[in-house]
Amino acid sequence: MTSSELAKKIVDLALDKKAKQIVLLNIKKITDYADYFVIMTGESNLQIKAITDHIEDELGKEGVKPFSKEGYEYFRWVLLDYVDVVVHIFNHEAREFYGIERLFADAKMELISEEEV
117 part of a folded domain: no
Q: Does the pLDDT at position 42 exceed 60?
A: yes
Confidence at 116, pLDDT banded by 50, 70, 90? low
Instruction: Please indicate, yes or no, if residue 100 is contained in any of the structural domains.
Output: yes
Q: Which residue range forms the structural domain that includes residue 30?
A: 3-111
* Structural domain includes residue 62: yes
Residue 13 in domain: yes
pTM recorded for the entire structure: 0.93
pLDDT at 114 over 90: no
Q: Using CA atoms in the order 28, 34, 36, 38, what is the torsion angle rounded to 10 degrees?
A: -150
Residue 4, Ramachandran bin (φ over 0: left; ψ between -120 and 50: alpha; else beta): alpha
Residue 55: CATH number of its domain: 3.30.460.10
Instruction: Determine, yes or no, domain membership for 116.
Output: no
Which is higher by pLDDT, 107 or 38?
38
Q: CB of 42 within 8 A of CB of 22?
A: no
The whole-angstrom separation of Cα 77 and Cα 103 is 16
How far is CA 55 from each of CA 25, 71, 87, 99, rounded to the nearest angstrom? 18, 15, 9, 22
pLDDT of amino acid 105: 86
Total number of domains constituting the chain? 1
Q: What is the pLDDT of residues 50-102, one digit of tens each?
A: 999 999 999 999 999 999 999 999 999 999 999 999 999 999 999 999 999 98
